[in-house]
A and B are shown apart, each in its own frame.
Chain A
Amino acid sequence: MCATPPAAGRWLVRVLAPRREREAIEGDLHERYARKARELGSRRADAWFLGQAIRSAAPLCLASASEVSAGRWVVGVVAGALITSLLPALITSVAPLETLGRPQDLVLEYLALSLPVAFAGGFSSSRLSRAFTPVTVSCLVALLYAPALVAMIGDPTVAGSDWGCLGLTVFAGCAGGMLAARRSTRTGEPVPG
């Protein structure tokens, strides 16, 4: 019988591992997993594999980030910033400016929301695979906009222009993701899966 490591763990390691060490890391985990599966059974081996993947996430992330050149970081952060550039428009369309308080609160809110996206955009577009980049960007955009979307659906006063603004934002997110994906493709990075 040939046991297979859990897909979630494999995916996490594949996505986060530095390109140069990826094959060795995946091979080591596969070899140790097969040994654990023989000795302890596949369920405990699965748990061990997932534990390894989770414990390895932070060090692998740091190792990957350290091999990215400054230029690619800049490209990624700019892409992330562009994706979130429509955030103030959406915030003001959901909650009118006068209800948000001082303008600087709006700026702070924008920065708090956009900086993690810019960082994630920088990380993903600078080193991750083309399959992962649009997924990261789309998930982050969806996560950030979910509360606003719920508020809009439940609000009968939302105008057509607000929905247009939301559509435009989603389009910008997707376009940013695809541009980043094209860039990753040009670098010849392999696609997982």
Chain B
Amino acid sequence: MSRARLTRFEFLVLAAILRIGDDAYGVAIAEEIRQRTGRDVAVGSLYRTLKRLEKKGCVSSTTGEPTPERGGRAKTFYRVEAAGREALRESVAEVRSLVDGLDLRWEAV
């Protein structure tokens, strides 16, 4: 199986879904990313990325029950699949290998 390469935003979305666990749906994912990175995610960008990740086999989705606070609309829950975990692991390893041993204190100057 060819491994999926992740963009920076795909990386953030996958990590957010893993952190949230079973209750990972659009609002929760956007909120997790906002809290941890300070990025206010546009819903369009988020769903386009989720769609792409689903196509790559990195995530799967299930539809929940409609709820009144969503105007009677159902949530779509996302789960990271084995391919997603592997892609995330490889991305982290790549970043680690690039930054390990670097002295990043110069950024504060």
Contacts and interface: CB of A to CB of B under 8 A. Distances in A.
Contacts of B43: 13, 25, 28-29, 32, 52, 56
B44 A28 contact: no
Q: Of residues A13, A28, A32, which shows the largest number of chain B Cβ atoms within 10 Å of its Cβ?
A: A28
Interface string A3-37: 00000000001001110010111111111101000
A59 B26 contact: no
B70 A30 contact: yes
A149 B4 CA distance: 54
B73 interface: yes
- Interface residue SS majority, chain A: helix
Contact of A34 (B69, B73, B74, B76): B69
B26 A25 contact: yes
Interface in B44-96: 44-45, 47-48, 50-51, 63, 66-67, 69-71, 73-76
A34 B67 CA distance: 13
B25 A24 contact: yes
Interface residues of B, number: 22
A27 B25 CA distance: 11
Contact of B71 (A17, A18, A26, A57): A26
B76 A57 contact: no
6 closest A-B pairs by CB: A56-B44, A27-B73, A27-B70, A28-B26, A59-B44, A55-B42
